[in-house]
Amino acid sequence: MSDSLKINNSGSKPRPLSPHLQVYKWQLTSLMSIGHRASGIALSLGTFLIVIWLVALAAGPELFSYVHQVISHWFGQFILLGFSVMLFYHLLNGIRHLSWDLGYGFDISTVYKTGYAVLVASLILTSITWLTVWFN
């Protein structure tokens, strides 16, 4: 079995193939960078929600109550929850990007500190928003 898995037959240890995605060690920095793009694309699609809400409001009470029914459904609420997480993440990470544009926070320890701060703050702001919606 192990013989059949050997890549070479020269007797030396098989050399590692790199980069190998199955054993690739992800970094916070690259994941958050991809996350900024992914959340940006998701938010672009999410703008349809705002348009639908505004058009329904302008159209009249019948369409507005129908849209509200869809939003109130558990799946609609799930979509809105996702939208709010993406919005806070993109907002906070965007501020992080703007500070980099000004030349601040480039050293590795600061990059990791602000990275974790963005992740924690996004979750806190999302929780505060939804607690406000539910208890208001």
Partner 1 sequence: MDKNKSMTSPLKSAKGLGSAKHGLSHWIAQRVTAIALVPLTIWFVSLIAFMKSSNYESAIETVSNPLNATLFLLLIIATFWHAQLGLQVVIEDYIANKMTRMTLIIITKFILAIIGVLSALSVLRIVL
* Burial (Cβ within 10 Å: 0-12, 13-18, ≥19) of residue 125: middle
Binds partner 1 by CB under 8 A, chosen from 7, 57, 70, 117: 57
Start-to-end Cα distance in the chain: 64
- Residue 77 binds partner 1, judged by CB under 8 A: no
Span interacting with partner 1, options 2-10, 22-30, 58-66, 111-119, rule CB under 8 A: 58-66
92 contacts 86 by C-beta, under 8 angstroms = no
Taking CB under 8 A as the criterion, the residue among 7, 70, 98, 123 binding partner 1 is: 98
Q: For residues 5 and 51, which CB has a smaller minimum distance to partner 1 in the complex?
A: 51
Options 5-13, 18-26, 50-58, 106-114: segment touching partner 1 (CB under 8 A): 50-58
| Smallest distance from partner 1 to CB 79, Å | 14
